[in-house]
A and B are shown apart, each in its own frame.
Chain A
Amino acid sequence: MNLRRLSTLMRREILATFRDPFTVSILIAVPLVALLLFGQVLSTEVTGLNLGVLDASGTSASRRLVAELAVTGTFKPLPYATRDALEHSLVSGAISAALIIPPDFDRDLDVATGDVDRAEVQVIYDGGEAVLAGNAEGFLRSLIAASGANLVSQALPAAPAVPQPNRRGTASGGGSGIEMVVRSVFNPRLDGRPFMVAGTFGFVLSFLTVLITAVSIVSEKLTGTFEQLQVTPATPVEILLAKILPLGAVFALDVLLMVLVAGFVMHVWAEGSTLFFLLVSSFYVLVSLALGLIISATSQTAAEAVQKSVLFSIPLVQLSGFAFPIRSMPWPVQWVAEFFPATHYIRVCRAIYLRGEGPIALLPELILLAIFGVILMAFALRTIEARQ
């Protein structure tokens, strides 16, 4: 090996790397963004989750229980007057979990002993948000156990203060004094598979469509065929549709294949209409393909297009709710997440797969997806438009 030659080669590589602003920005931005995302935004720590509280007891003990839940910062209690309103907010995502304190909570707490839990509270979560529900349940269990033990210890000073959660869904054992009855509005067993299967549709369709189309226009630019196409009578709309419709059909078949494999192999079928799911997915594929075309049309080289696609996929995985619950992210990040079409599509997937929701219930999300579709298609058309 010739060291001089090696150093010459290395010098050229270094110059090539650092003279490309895009590469430099990737080298700096990606590690920082990943660090911030994983370290801060995507921490599994549960903080500031909205907890709907229906306090039918209205006593000092129930108020103290709620106050103690609030003081840890894990939950932000929001009072509700009726059970219907509580469940509606839970399904709509306004709250992450619900706590119902019955009217006789205070009286039952008084007769609780170190061996028998008498006071009951009910916790309801949306099993459709399996990760979030699991986290919330775990935290509520330990917090209610600790609060219950404190409340009982004031009435019965000999009672042990350390709670021992058990498998019955109660936070009693060891005499915490409060039994936590858990109920899920959907997916009661908190089975992670439907949650992940539904999310995977979003991830695969978003990432793969963008990656496949990202190189399509830029490759044609490099070979000269795109310029030739621009001089023919073909209109931008025709070029756009010719790019996305064939691929859209292929991806629609992909969705069908995934639905069948998920059903027959993993035994995960949509609770709602499969046909509706296929229709929504086919539309989403077109939206995502348009995004890929924008990346492609605004890139100078195929390598740049691929880099942009990969860069795009990082927030897709992290912020779209595919792997991490959006509701447990800081609110500015939650806002950012709302600007990803994938966020809404994954939400729709899970609503159809886990909650069996139909077009009426999902209308707001569908409208948002349609708006994203119109905006992205319009922008894709603009980038394909011949005159610069």
Chain B
Amino acid sequence: MMNPIIHARGLTRRFGDFTAVDHLDIDVLPGSIFAFLGANGSGKSTTIRMLIGILRPTEGTIEVDGIDVIRRPRLVRDHIGYMGQRVSLYRGLSLRENVEFYAGLYNLSGAELERRWGALRERFSLGETEDEKAEDLPVGIRQRAGLALSTLHQPRVLFLDEPTTGVDVHNRGLFWELIQDEAKAGVTVFVTTHFLEEVEYCDWVCFIDAGRLIANDEPEALRRRYSAGYRIDIELPPEACDPAKALIRAAGHPVERTSIGLQLRVPELGAGTLATFERIAASHAGTIRIEQAPMTDVFRQVLAESGRPT
């Protein structure tokens, strides 16, 4: 197994008597998209602020890209990019001036800056808005610009704190495509969000509630553990239902008749199971509809099993 690029143990932060983050253990693999989910006030932002070195933990250890963030917070800054909940473009400056400002902080200028920014400008579709003042940019473009700026210095790890808050569904989709591109290019993405459906874009999910980790696994594994799996609806002519039912039962799955055909639930979609359904649909001119359990339901179940009211 690869060594984690983010490695935190016993991460705790108290504010007086209030424990915002309570003994978290986090491992994030290089090049993955790690979703850190939780309700508002659950401790997501506190955790991310500790991981990027701007908030000192009360207890615990943190390593990011092999650097001890607690002892050497400054050293880690060349290795990470960060985009906060509020996209941090300076008002009164054009997008281009913001780019030059942040580039200057990373000692980027001249041809190298033009090369990097030119590529980002094209990939993030920001060319037409370069001369616009930050405050005049639409929210979706501002978010893309914020993400572009946080990757300008080519960080190894990208921390995104609720990056899609306030962005419409269309732009959220575009934004997640860009995040996935970053991950494909080898950048590790640690992202907090409270949009549970965004988990679909991620390789790993961590649920936090009241400062404690309540689930920590791959999305599919969480679905298996905390939901009834997949719901399969097979639309069939009435005469085909009984033979199909027998086939499915023979494969080991309980199945029910419905008004349109058959319905069953499976905990996971193995190749053998899928092949059975395809054979039934092909031989009886039926259609198959597969529905995943929504992550909202998974989260509710996780909360319920952790003893918290849902």
B106 at the interface (CB under 8 A from A): yes
Q: Which one of B17-25, B47-55, B201-209, B215-223 is at the interface? A: B47-55
User: Which of A223, A231, A387, A388 touches B77 (beta carbons < 8 Å)?
Assistant: A231
Q: A224, B87: Cβ atoms under 8 Å? A: yes
A232 at the interface (CB under 8 A from B): yes
How far is it, in angstroms, between the C-alpha of A224 and the C-alpha of B78 when the chains are bound? 19
Q: B105, A387: Cβ atoms under 8 Å? A: no
Q: A232, B105: Cβ atoms under 8 Å? A: yes
- Count residues of B near A (Cβ-Cβ below 8 Å): 23
User: Which of B54, B85, B90, B106 touches A386 (beta carbons < 8 Å)?
Assistant: B54
Residues 221-257 of chain A, each 1 if its beta carbon lies under 8 Å from chain B, else 0 = 0011101111111110000000000000000000000
Considering the complex, which residues of chain A in the window 13-70 have a beta carbon less than 8 Å from any beta carbon of chain B? none
5 cross-chain CB contacts under 8 A? A224-B88, A228-B102, A229-B105, A231-B77, A387-B56
User: Which of A225, A227, A235 touches B54 (beta carbons < 8 Å)?
Assistant: A227
Q: Which residues of B contact A223 (CB under 8 A)?
A: 86, 88, 90-91
State whether A232 and B86 are in contact (beta carbons under 8 Å apart), knowing that A387-B53, A387-B73 are contacts in the complex: no
B79 smallest CB distance to A (angstroms): 10
Q: B55, A231: Cβ atoms under 8 Å? A: no
Q: B residues near A, CB below 8 A?
A: 52-56, 73-74, 77-78, 80, 82-91, 102, 105-106
User: Which of A227, A232, A387, A388 touches B84 (beta carbons < 8 Å)?
Assistant: A227
Considering the complex, which residues of chain A in the window 361-388 have a beta carbon less than 8 Å from any beta carbon of chain B? 386-388
User: Which of A225, A229, A231 touches B52 (beta carbons < 8 Å)?
Assistant: A231
Closest 8 CB pairs of A and B: A224-B86, A228-B88, A224-B88, A231-B82, A232-B105, A225-B88, A387-B56, A386-B54
Q: Which residues of A contact B85 (CB under 8 A)?
A: 224
Q: B74, A233: Cβ atoms under 8 Å? A: yes
Q: A386, B53: Cβ atoms under 8 Å? A: yes
How far is it, in angstroms, between the C-alpha of A231 and the C-alpha of B73 when the chains are bound? 9
Chain A interface residue number, banded: 10 to 19
B137 smallest CB distance to A (angstroms): 14
State whether A231 and B54 are in contact (beta carbons under 8 Å apart), knowing that A386-B73, A387-B73 are contacts in the complex: yes
Q: A residues near B, CB below 8 A?
A: 223-225, 227-235, 386-388
B77 smallest CB distance to A (angstroms): 5
How far is it, in angstroms, between the C-alpha of A232 and the C-alpha of B81 when the chains are bound? 8
B72 smallest CB distance to A (angstroms): 12
A70 smallest CB distance to B (angstroms): 57
Which residue from chain A places its CB closest to the CB of B86 in the assembled complex? A224
B244 smallest CB distance to A (angstroms): 57
How far is it, in angstroms, between the C-alpha of A233 and the C-alpha of B107 when the chains are bound? 10
B55, B73, B86 interface centre (most CB from chain A within 10 Å): B86
How far is it, in angstroms, between the C-alpha of A224 and the C-alpha of B54 when the chains are bound? 13
Besides A227-B88, A386-B54, A387-B54, 15 new A-B residue pairs in contact (Cβ under 8 A), listed by A number: A224-B84, A224-B85, A224-B86, A227-B54, A227-B82, A228-B82, A228-B88, A228-B102, A231-B52, A232-B77, A232-B106, A387-B56, A387-B73, A388-B55, A388-B56
Which residue from chain A places its CB closest to the CB of B73 in the assembled complex? A387
Q: Which residues of A contact B90 (CB under 8 A)?
A: 223, 225
How far is it, in angstroms, between the C-alpha of A93 and the C-alpha of B188 when the chains are bound? 67
How far is it, in angstroms, between the C-alpha of A51 and the C-alpha of B83 when the chains are bound? 66
A271 smallest CB distance to B (angstroms): 44
How far is it, in angstroms, between the C-alpha of A223 and the C-alpha of B135 when the chains are bound? 11
Q: B78, A233: Cβ atoms under 8 Å? A: yes
Q: A235, B74: Cβ atoms under 8 Å? A: yes
Q: Which residues of B contact A387 (CB under 8 A)?
A: 53-56, 73
Which residue from chain B places its CB closest to the CB of A236 in the assembled complex? B74
B52, B54, B80, B102 interface centre (most CB from chain A within 10 Å): B54
A225, A231, A387, A388 interface centre (most CB from chain B within 10 Å): A231
Q: B77, A233: Cβ atoms under 8 Å? A: yes
How far is it, in angstroms, between the C-alpha of A335 and the C-alpha of B286 when the chains are bound? 93
Q: Which residues of B contact A225 (CB under 8 A)?
A: 88-90
Q: Which residues of A contact B83 (CB under 8 A)?
A: 228
Q: Which residues of A contact B52 (CB under 8 A)?
A: 231
B231 smallest CB distance to A (angstroms): 42
How far is it, in angstroms, between the C-alpha of A13 and the C-alpha of B180 when the chains are bound? 47
How far is it, in angstroms, between the C-alpha of A386 and the C-alpha of B53 when the chains are bound? 8
Q: Which residues of B contact A233 (CB under 8 A)?
A: 74, 77-78, 105-106
Which residue from chain B places its CB closest to the CB of A222 in the assembled complex? B86
B270 smallest CB distance to A (angstroms): 44
Q: Which residues of A contact B55 (CB under 8 A)?
A: 387-388
Q: Which residues of B contact A229 (CB under 8 A)?
A: 88, 105
Q: Which residues of A contact B78 (CB under 8 A)?
A: 233
